Amino acid sequence: MLIKNAHHALLTEQSVTPESVYRDRRRLLKGLGFGAAALALPAHAGVLDLLSPKAPENHGKPLNASKATLPADLQLTPEGKVISYNNYYEFGTDKSDPAANAHTLKLEPWTLAIEGEVEKPQTIDVWQLIHSAALEERIYRFRCVEAWSMVIPWIGIGLGTLLNAAMPTSRAKYVAFESLYDPEQMPDAGASGIALPYVEGLRIDEAMHPLALLAVGLYGKTLPAQNGAPIRLVLPWKYGFKSIKSIVRIRLLETMPPTTWNLLAPQEYGFFANVNPAVDHPRWSQASERFIGEGGVFDAKRQATLPFNGYADQVANLYQGMDLRQWY
Ligand SMILES: Nc1nc2c(c(=O)[nH]1)N[C@H]1C(S)=C(S)[C@@H](COP(=O)(O)O)O[C@H]1N2
Ligand SMILES: [Mo]
C-alpha cells in the first residue's frame, strides 16, 4: 500500500495475472527486437543486434581480463537474458525498459569521485581506469529481492583496491554510493516512483570484503548501458538492489548513509539486505527463486535460495552477533 506505483515491478513479479505475464512477455519480445522491424533484418544479424538495436558505440567492446572458471554447481545465464531482463528504474520500471531506453546514457567521458573520510580524495577517469587496471573475471550468482536469480560472468576491480588507493581515515565507518542522475539523459526517470539519484551504502568492512566488485564488464566486454555502464557495484551475497549502477560518487562516512529502497519502504528493504531464505519479504517468500538460465524467463525453474546467496562461508563472519531477523 505504501508502494503503490513505486517498485510496481515487484508487485507484478509476485502477483502476476496471466494477462500481465502475456503483456510483459510481449514487451520483452519487443525489447528483444522480435517486432515487425526485426523481421526485416538480414538473416545473419547476430542475437546481440536483435537484443540491443540502439546499443551505444562504447557498449560491448572486448576487455582484457583474467579468466574465471565456472564452478561445477553453477550454470551461466545466457548473455541475451542478462542484457535484456533488467532493473534500472531511471530508464523505466518494466524489465524490458532499460534495454530499450538506456542508449540515451552518455557514457563518455565518465568520472568517479572518491571523497569524504579519505587522505587522498580522487577523481577517477573511469575509461582510463578500465583500460589500465588489472581486470578480473568473476562468475557470481546474482539474486534479486524479487525472487529471481542469474549467474553472470562479470569483469571488474575489487572495490577494496580502489578504496585503499584513496586511503580511508580511521573515521571512515561506512561507504556511500551515488548513481548518475540526469533528467535529460533519463527522460522517464520521473515516473519511476523512487527518489533520485539512486543511493546505496555499505559498512566499511563489507566494502573491503574481497567479494565486493566494481564491475566494468560482463561476458568479456564492457557493460551495456542497461546493466549500469560504465561502472557499477556487484555484491553477490546481498539482494540485487544493493548493486548500484552507473556510479559517479563514492563517499566515505562516519555514519550510516541513507539508501534508496530503505527510504521508500523501510519495512520491506533494509540497509544490510543480505540474501536470507529464512526471512520472507512482507509480501512474498524468499525461500526459493526463479533461476533464469536457458529457456523461458517467466516459467524458469525454481531452486532453493541459499543463505547469503551461497557465499556464507566467505561473509557470515561479517555479521556475527547481529540478529538474523533484522537483516532484511
Ligand atoms: N541506479 C540504479 N541501480 C540499480 C537499480 C536501479 O533501478 N537504479 N536496480 C537495482 C536492482 S533492484 C537490481 S536487481 C540490479 C539489476 O542489475 P542488472 O539489471 O544488471 O541485472 O541493479 C540494481 N541497481
Ligand atoms: Mo532487484
Non-local (6+) Cβ contacts of 192 within 8 A are 6, 89, 90, 92, 93
**Domain annotation covers residue 202:** yes
pTM: 0.86
**Cis status, amide bond into 183, omega within 30 of 0:** no
**Domain annotation covers residue 327:** no
Instruction: Pick the residue whose CA is nearest to atom 12 on ligand 1.
Output: 241
Q: How far apart are CA 264 and CA 185, in angstroms?
A: 23
The structural domain count of the chain equals: 1
Residues 28, 85 contacting (CB under 8 angstroms): yes
Q: Which atom of ligand 1 is nearest to the CA of 82?
A: 21
Q: Given this model, what pLDDT does residue 38 score? A: 35
Q: Is the CB of 154 under 6 A from ligand 1?
A: no
Q: Given this model, what pLDDT does residue 59 score? A: 65
The CATH number of residue 24's host domain is: 3.90.420.10
Distance 305 CA to ligand 2 centre (A): 15
**Domain annotation covers residue 64:** yes
Residues 272, 319 contacting (CB under 8 angstroms): yes
Q: How far apart are CA 24 and CA 18, in angstroms?
A: 10
Residues 156, 138 contacting (CB under 8 angstroms): yes
Q: Given this model, what pLDDT does residue 44 score? A: 35
Q: How far apart are CA 309 and CA 119, in angstroms?
A: 35
Query: How many of the other CB atoms lie within 10 Å of CB of 212?
Result: 25
Tell me the pLDDT tens digit for each residue of 207-240.
999 999 999 999 999 999 999 999 999 999 999 9
Provide the grid cell at 236. Answer: 553477490
Provide the grid cell at 263. Answer: 527510504
Residues 129, 250 contacting (CB under 8 angstroms): no
Give the residues of the chain that fall short of pLDDT 50: 1-56
Phi first, then psi, for residue 2 (nearest 5°) are -60, -35
Q: Given this model, what pLDDT does residue 190 score? A: 94
**Domain annotation covers residue 324:** no
Distance 290 CA to ligand 2 centre (A): 13
Q: Given this model, what pLDDT does residue 328 score? A: 60
Distance 148 CA to ligand 2 centre (A): 9
Q: Given this model, what pLDDT does residue 11 score? A: 39
Rg of the chain on CA atoms, in Å: 19
Q: How far apart are CA 124 and CA 137, in angstroms?
A: 21
Residues 289, 143 contacting (CB under 8 angstroms): yes
Phi first, then psi, for residue 136 (nearest 5°) are -120, 140
Mutate-to-test residue for ligand 1 from 233, 245, 260, 281, highest number of ligand atoms within 8 A of CB? 245
Expressed as residue numbers, the domain containing 114 is 7-316
